[in-house]
């Protein structure tokens, strides 16, 4: 038996984790964006990173 947790299967596993610290102004910008667009922090940051590639 393995110790791995079973979750929903995915075609795009998220194996990499990062931790960031934000100053109050930057956090407020992110928080306002998330509220306005009804997304969570993780999805907003992923979208911003993908825009960097373009």
- Domains of the chain, by residue range, sit at 24-53
The Cα–Cα gap between 5 and 16 comes to 17
In a structure prediction context, what are the per-residue pLDDT tens digits for the chain, which is 54 residues long? 566 677 788 888 888 999 999 999 999 999 999 999 999 999 999 999 999 998
The pLDDT of residue 11 = 87
Alpha helices in 1-54 (DSSP H): 24-37, 41-53
């Amino acid at each position: 038996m393995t110790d791995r947790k079973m979750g929903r299967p995915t075609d795009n596993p998220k194996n990499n984790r990062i931790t960031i610290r934000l100053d109050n102004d930057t956090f407020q910008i992110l928080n306002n964006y998330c509220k306005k667009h009804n997304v969570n922090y993780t999805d907003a940051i992923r979208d911003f990173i993908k825009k960097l590639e373009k």
